[in-house]
Amino acid sequence: MRIPPRITRIGTSAAVLSALLIGGTVSATTADAAVGSICYTRLPSQAYDTLELIDQGGPFPYSQDGAVFQNREGVLPSQTSGYYHEYTVKTPGSSTRGARRIVTGKKTDEDYYTADHYVTFNLVNYGC
């Protein structure tokens, strides 16, 4: 199990809430618009298994697990190459790796979950 507390991302959420409450416009980068948050307790059970394997350093079920995630889609905040690494979250009934992943950020120890193969990400919030 990952050790809380983890960072939380409120920048975009606060801006959207403020715009809704007092009016105005919201401008966000592609990364800010596509990164939400998810409570650790709301992750699928297979994500817990993946996070535990990450903490243990493996062994991982797929050879691609632990590979550098390039962030080619530009959805996550921009970082230097090698900052992000990806791991498979098994999908029950799938004969392939499926679309679900945990992407970790090395330096600030953040974990992102995607259920749609990098279209959107949710920062895992360990404090809720």
- Distance of alpha carbon 112 from alpha carbon 34, whole angstroms: 12
Among residues 52, 73, 85, 117, the one annotated as catalytic is 117
The question of whether 86 is a catalytic residue gets the answer yes
- Distance of alpha carbon 92 from alpha carbon 4, whole angstroms: 27
Structure tokens at 37: 């948050």
The question of whether 52 is a catalytic residue gets the answer no
Instruction: Tell me the pairing of strands 121-125 and 35-39.
Output: parallel
- Written as one string, the DSSP assignment of 60-120 is -SSTTTTEEP--TT--SPP--TTSEEEEE---TT-SS--S-EEEEETTTTEEEEESSTTS-
The residues carrying an active-site annotation are: 86, 117
